[in-house]
Amino acid sequence: MRLLCAYNERRTCMARRTRPARWHTQNFLRDLGLAGTLVDRAGLTNTDLVYEMGAGTGTITAALADRCRAVIANEIDVPLCDRLRSRFAARRTVQVRCGDFRAEPLPDEPYKVFANPPFDMTSEIVGKLVGAARPPDDTFLVVQREAAERYCGTPIESLAGLLLKPWFALSIVRRFHRDDFRPKPSVEVVMLRLRKRGPPLVAPDDAQAYRDLVVSGFTAWRPTIGDALAQPFGQRAARRLLDTAVLDPALRPTQVPFDAWLRLATVFVRMPDALRGRIGGAEARLRRHQSHLRKQHRSRAPRDALGSVHRDLAAGSSAPTAVDEVPAMLFR
């Protein structure tokens, strides 16, 4: 049973819990002026439909409503959602949805995302957005710095980022002060942008080959890209592949920059079917493995432990933990 309880309902909710629950956590922007500045710098205008998950107290929702054609504000916490509905009852351009974002349908028309969601849901949110039948044209997410750098490939590439980059341009567009939030987070916070490319950098017919190649390189558990490719292809074929792509075999997979992975994939798709088939299904195997994993993340202060979010709250968030940054991306 997964409950997100407001402070004044905490004891009742705790009494009803009969088994361990995963407690989502969140820090809210303090200042409507800052929210407005962020929306303006994101380039959102009165022609945009914007989806916001984790709307919370409505600070970002209000800034979006003042500038955008329409806003869909999603909130899982029932008391907060009721307050959002009351606050924006007179705003016809704001639609408030109560429920779990992961189960909510996304728009079937062009839209953008601008949100400050719980840190511990970053990978699930990114996975749903990039895997949607219609991904957002542009996405701005307030996230933990380490997660954003992992996606962007700073200072080294990650599997998560490489699986996104042919289809989305990723960048960090804002670094926040901890005082910007209530309560103060115990981690550094940034705004991550994912802009959908058009057209993508990998042709649709080659998309799965690219993804299988990258996954195979990262999951071979070999110290260098040369060793990782030699495992399925053999030394001679791997060396020919690397030489044609002008790539140093001594580099670790994380040291291979994105443009080099693109060159490698361009050469790989021209290899004989028998060789390419040796890593076929690598991504699918990884997904099956991931489906059995469950991780808990505690990088923010639990909502139910904060007191009323509409009062002056005491800061206090728990220590950060690593976030699973491999998105379950379905977009091609």
Domain boundaries along the sequence of the chain: 7-201+294-305, 204-290
Query: Beta partners for 29?
Result: 181
Packing angle between helix 282-290 and helix 207-219, nearest 10 degrees? 60
**pLDDT tens, N- to C-terminus, the chain (332 residues):** 333 333 333 333 333 333 333 445 689 999 999 999 999 999 999 999 999 999 999 999 999 999 999 999 999 999 999 999 999 999 999 999 999 999 999 999 999 999 999 999 999 999 999 999 999 999 999 999 999 999 999 999 999 999 999 999 999 999 999 999 999 999 999 999 999 999 999 999 999 999 999 999 999 989 999 999 999 999 999 999 999 999 999 999 999 999 999 999 999 999 999 999 999 999 999 999 888 775 544 445 444 444 434 333 232 222 223 333 455 554 44
Task: Count Cα neighbours of 44 within 13 Å in the Cβ-side half-sphere.
Answer: 34
Rg (CA), the chain: 22
Instruction: Please calculate the CA angle 60-132-146 and round it to the nearest 5 degrees.
Output: 55
Quote the pTM value: 0.83
Taking the alpha carbons at both ends of the chain, their separation in whole angstroms is: 35
Task: Give me the sign of the Cα torsion angle 129, 118, 151, 289.
Answer: negative
> Is it true that domain 7-201+294-305 has CATH number 3.30.930.10?
no
Rounded Cα–Cα distance for residues 249 and 246 (Å): 9
Going by C-alpha positions, the residue among 110, 101, 106, 118 that lies closest to residue 22 is: 118
Q: What architecture is the 204-290 domain classified under in CATH?
A: Orthogonal Bundle (1.10)
Going by C-alpha positions, the residue among 242, 238, 237, 278 that lies closest to residue 263 is: 242
How many residues are present in the chain?
332
Rounded Cα–Cα distance for residues 190 and 41 (Å): 14
Q: Counting Cβ atoms within 10 Å, is residue 274 exposed (0-12), middle (13-18) or buried (19+)?
A: exposed
Tokens matching residue 312: 């002056």
Contact 24/5 with Cβ under 8 angstroms? no
Would strands 28-29 and 181-182 be described as parallel, antiparallel, or unpaired?
A: antiparallel
